[in-house]
Structure 1
Amino acid sequence: MAPSMRPRYSRIPKEKFSVYFAPLKAQPYNESTTGRGVASHHSLRSIAWNPLGSLVATGASDKTLRVWNPEKPNVRFSTELKGHAAGIEKIAFNPVKDAELCSISNDGVAKLWDVRTKACVNEVKGLGSAHTLAWAPDGSSLLVGNRRGELFQISPTKSSVMSSHQLSVDANQMAFCWSGDKIFLPTSEGKIRILSYPELEPVLHVNHAVKPGESTEFMLKGHTASCLTVELSPTGRYLATGGADSIIALFDTKDWICQRTVSRMVGPVKSISFTFDGSYLVGACEEGSGLEVTHTETGEHVHTFKTAGPCEAVAWAPTRYCLAYSDLGVLRIVDADRK
C-alpha cells in the first residue's frame, strides 16, 4: 500500500513560500464511496503520518480509523481499521516502526495496530475519557491522558497499564523531547509543565523564594486561557504551544523564554505542526476558514491555506513539504512534490 519514497524537497526560502504554494491545489481524500454519506466526514479529529511519510492515518469521532496512501486519494486504496466502539480522539504512529499505529477512543480504550495486516495487535482498557496520546521517541512506551487529569504509561506489547499518575489540573495534547527523558504537558490553566519521564516529576524549579504552600516548579507561561497543544520543532530549538486564547507561542528551548507569539488565529488553536526542517509552523483552529503558516525564526506570516471551514487537525509530513489537514472533516493534502 505504501508508495515508493521520493527525495526530501529542498528548503523553500520564506520569501518564496507563498509564491510556490499559492498555485497548488489541495487533493481531497473522500470516503463518499463507503456509503456513510457526507455527514460522517464532519468529525475528523486526528491526523498522523508514519515516520517515512509514506502513509497518513485519520481518526474520527464516528469511530472511523483509516490509513491512506498519499499517492492515491481514492478510498479503494486506503485501509479501514475496525474495532473501536467509541469516537476516536487521537492517533499516532510509532516513531521507529512504520506500520505500527496507536489509537485512543473516548471510552478509555487504546488499540495498537499493524496497518499492513489490519490486525489489532494489542489493546489497553480502563483509561477513562482518554483524549491525548504521545509516543516516547524510542517507541518503547506511550503516555495517554484523560479528561480527569490522569496520565497512564502503557506498553505497545502489554494489555495492562504500566503506571498511572494523577495531575492536579487537566492536561491537553502533550509532546516528548527528542531524547525521551522529558514530557511537555499543556494545562487547562494556560501553563506548560516540563516533567521527567517516566517519573513525571518537575524538571525545573524557580530560583527565587516563594510564599508558603506555593510550588517551586517552573512552568512556561504563554497563554491567558487553556493551553491546548504543544509541538517540539524537529531541530529541538523551539517549543510551540497553541491556546484557547487564539495564540501560538514559540519558546526557545535553551532559556525557556517566549521569543514570539502568533496572533493571526481567529479561534482556539487545536493543532500545530512544524515542517520537517523546523523552518515553518502551521496552526489550525476551531473557527475561521484558513490555515496560517509562520516562519519560525522571524515570526513572519508567509502563507494562508484557504479552507472551506474550520480545521481541527493539521500535520506536515516528516520528510518533505507536504501538508495534511482536515477541512469540514475531509482529509486534504497539498504536496510540494506534486506538480
Structure 2
Amino acid sequence: MKEPKQAPIKDLSELRSYFQSHNVIREYIAHTSKVHSVGWSCDGRKLASGSFDKSVAIFNLERNRLVQDFVFRGHTGSVDQLCWHASHPDLLSTASGDKSVRIWDTRSRKCVATILTKGENINIAWSPNGSTIAVGNKEDLVSFIDTKTYKVVVEEQFHFEVNEISWNNTSDLFYLTNGLGCVHILTYPGLELQAVLKAHPGTCICIEHDPTGRYFATGSADALVSLWDAQELACLRVFSRLEWPVRTLSFSFDGRLLASASEDHVIDIGDTETGEKVAEIPVSAATFTVAWHPSRYIAAFACEDKEAPERKRDAGNLKLWGLPSQG
C-alpha cells in the first residue's frame, strides 16, 4: 500500500501559507558520521540514508515521524549515493568508494547482490523501468548494470568530468552533467549523443528529473539552478537565490516545488511555474542531500552538522521538514 497522495496546491499564495503552518523540522540520529545521501522508497513508507560511516540506515515513516527500522552493513567504504527502485518499494541500491554497488532488500533485510566495479563510485541512478543501474566513478567511467543478472553490461569512459547522472522518466534517454557546465543527453541503450546543452557558465554539479516528466533541473557551481522543459530542451527559468555552489536538487511529487541546497544556510523552495520563492528551510551548515517525499509536501535532508559542544566531530543526523506545527 502506498501513502495516499496529498492533494496538490495550485495557488502560490496558498502554498506559501501552507508552509507557514507546516514548517516544523524534526531531527534523527542515523549514523556515527556525516550523511551523504537520503532517499524515499517509491511508496513513501521508508527513508534510507547512506553515510561516510559505511552503513545504510532504514527508517519507517509513521504519520509525521521517522522510526529507525534497521541498519545495513557490508560496504567497506563510504556510502556516497543511494537510489531506490522506481516501482519496487523494497529494493535499494548504493554506490560506495569501496569499488562496489550493492542491492539491498528491506523486506528480507539482506544484501541481495554485490557488483564489483572498476573505481571508487560517487553517483548512482536506477532507470525508472527498473532494468538498469548506472554508476559513475571518480575516473569518469560510467558502468551500466543489468538488474536481472546483476552484471556490468556496458562501460562508457568519458573524457571530461562527469558529476551526476540521471534517466528521463521513460528510461530511453540518459543524462549526465559535466565540469564544463554542460548536460549531455544520450540515447539508451545505444548511448548515442543526442544533444549537448550549455546549461551553466560554471561546473554543472547536479541534475534531477521531475516525477511528472515535464521538467528537469540542473544545479551549478555558479550558484544557479536552471529549470528545463524536458520535451523542448529549452531553459524555462533560472533560480538565483542561493550564493554557493548548488549540490543537490529535488522536485516535489507534483513537480510544482523545487528544493535546492548548497553551503548557504537555507534550503530554497521555489515554484517551478513562476520561479518565485515559496518557502525556505533554515539550516546551520552545508547541505549534502535533499529529497521530497513521493506523495506529500515533506522533505528529508542532511547537512554537514557537527556534534555539540566542541563541534569537532561530524554528526550523522538527518532531518524531516514540512511537518504541521500543531499535532
Same fold (TM > 0.5): yes
In structure 1, the gaps of 5 or more residues are 204-217
- Whether 1:334 aligns to 2:321 is yes
Task: Select which of 96, 106, 128 maps to 1:105.
Answer: 96
TM-score by length of 1: 0.87
SS in 1 for 2:287: coil
Alignment of 1:86-235 (within 5 A): 86-203=77-194, 218-235=195-212
Number of equivalent positions:
312
Q: Which residue of 2 is the match for residue 209 of structure 1?
A: none
Q: CA deviation at 1:179?
A: 0.9
- Offset of residue 25 of structure 1: 1.0
What SS is found at the alignment partner of 2:163?
coil
Displacement of 1:331? 1.0
State the match for 1:299 in structure 2: 275
Quick check: 1:153–1:164 contact (8 Å CA) kept in 2?
yes
Report Cα offsets for 1:294-313 as digits up to 9, x if no partner.
Answer: 10011111111111222110
For 2:61 and 2:243, how far apart are their aligned partners in 1? 29
Measured after TM superposition, the shift of residue 94 of structure 1 is 0.8
Shift of residue 198 of structure 1? Answer: 1.6
1:178-211 deviations in whole A, cap 9, x for unaligned?
A: 11110111111110001011221112xxxxxxxx
1:319 is matched with 295
Q: Secondary structure at the match of 1:332?
A: strand
1:22 aligns with 2:9: no
State how far apart, in whole Å, the 1-side matches of 2:241 and 2:66 are. 34
* Contact map agreement 2:3 2:44 (CA 8 A) in 1: no
Alpha-carbon separation, structure 1, partners of 2:184 and 2:150: 28
Instruction: Compare relative contact order (CA 8 Å, sep 6+) and give the higher one, 1 or 2.
Output: 2
Contact between 1:192 and 1:220, CA under 8 Å: does it hold in 2? yes
How far apart are the structure 1 equivalents of 2:118 and 2:85? Answer: 19
Question: Is 1:278–2:278 an aligned residue pair?
Answer: no
CA RMSD across the alignment: 1.8
Distance 2:53 2:139 in 1: 22
CA contact (8 A) 1:28 1:73 kept: no
Quote how far apart the aligned CAs of 1:320 are: 1.4
Structure 2 gap segments, 5+ residues each: 306-315
SS of equivalent to 1:15 = helix
Bigger shift: 90-99 or 323-332? 323-332
Higher strand share: 2
Identical positions, percent = 30
Amino acid at match of 2:197: L
